[in-house]
């Protein structure tokens, strides 16, 4: 997978960086993620799970 990202980055397709789930959740909340349906769905799910854990529900 890292090799694929390197090739895509060299082709100007993506600008890749590693982020934590919390960072992705924050990007979704601030609407920094504008495209990528899968990433947005994951971000919303992770944000939901983190808020669920924060409130003591599981």
5-44 tens-digit pLDDT: 565 556 555 566 777 877 877 877 787 776 667 777 877 7
Please report whether residue 7 resides in a domain: no
Six token digits for residue 2: 């890292």
Contact present, 25 and 32 (Cβ < 8 Å)? no
Tokens coding 32: 């920094």
Other residues' Cβ atoms within 10 Å of the Cβ of residue 5? 15
pTM given for the model: 0.40
Q: How many domains does the chain have?
A: 1
Q: Let me know if residue 30 belongs to a domain.
A: yes
Residue 2, in any domain of the structure = no
- In a domain? residue 10: no
Q: What domain range is 30 assigned to?
A: 18-58
Secondary structure letter of residue 35 according to DSSP: S
Rounded CA separation 39/25 (Å): 10
| 43 is a domain residue | yes
């Amino acid at each position: 997978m890292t090799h694929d990202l390197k090739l895509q980055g060299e082709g100007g397709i993506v600008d890749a960086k590693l982020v934590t789930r919390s960072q992705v959740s924050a990007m979704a909340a601030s609407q920094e993620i504008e495209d990528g349906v899968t990433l947005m769905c994951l971000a919303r799910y992770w944000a939901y799970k983190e808020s669920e854990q924060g409130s003591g529900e599981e």
